[in-house]
Amino acid sequence: MKKVFFAFVAIVVTVAAAQTRKETKKANSSSAENVELQLIQMEKDWAQAIVKGDEATLERLEADDITTTQDDGSLTTKKDDIANLKSGDTKYTSLSEDDFHVRTYGNAAVVTGRYATKGATKGKEFETTGRFTDTWIKRNGHWQAVASQDTLIAK
């Protein structure tokens, strides 16, 4: 009788453990999808902030210590980005992004994708397409971009 009881208990424990692992895996998968969707939305918000001249969104999304490697090889900071936005020297009429790929590593994430821009710098019109790599860090419960790299796609 004891052997049957212990066998029954062993089966119940095994089934319960398997169910817990399955639920944990499902929760982790769902959480990763949520982070991916959140980061893609933040990328889109960042692009629209540049088009609309939305300084508050740039302040929120860019870390104070962000470094951006521009498509011409120059480096800019958050202070540079905001100053450029305020100056009006460069006006974007559109900035769209697609082909997003998100990889998360705990409180760090890398987002890559493709962009297309139209606008004018000091009255001279431009139209570009390129690829980007953005590095995000989650600090105090909020994601912020800490590094960005833009590379032009040759026409």
The whole-number pLDDT of residue 155 equals 81
- In DSSP notation, the chain reads -HHHHHHHHHHHHHHHHHHHHHHHHHHHHHHHHHHHHHHHHHHHHHHHHHHHT-HHHHHHHEEEEEEEE-TTS-EEEHHHHHHHHHH-SEEEEEEEEEEEEEEEETTEEEEEEEEEEEEEETTEEEEEEEEEEEEEEEETTEEEEEEEEEEEPP-
User: Based on the structure, what is the number of domains in the chain?
Assistant: 1
Is the sign of the CA dihedral 64, 65, 70, 74 positive or negative? positive
Rounded to 5 degrees, φ, ψ at 107 are -90, 20
Residue 19 has pLDDT above 80, yes or no: no
Say if residues 77 and 67 touch (Cβ distance below 8 Å). yes
Residue 53 CA to its chain's centroid (Å): 20
pTM: 0.79
The whole-number pLDDT of residue 24 equals 46
The whole-number pLDDT of residue 13 equals 47
| Average pLDDT over every residue of 45-64 | 97
Residue 125 has pLDDT above 50, yes or no: yes
Here the CATH number for the domain that contains residue 112 is 3.10.450.50
Give the type of residue at 22: K
Residues above pLDDT 90, as percent of the chain: 78
For all residues of the chain together, what is the average pLDDT? 87
Residues above pLDDT 70, as percent of the chain: 81
Residues 70 and 87: their CA atoms lie apart, in Å, by 18
| Average pLDDT over every residue of 5-15 | 49
Residue 39 has pLDDT above 50, yes or no: yes
Domain extent, residue 103, equals 2-152
pLDDT digit string, tens, across residues 93-110: 999 999 999 999 999 999
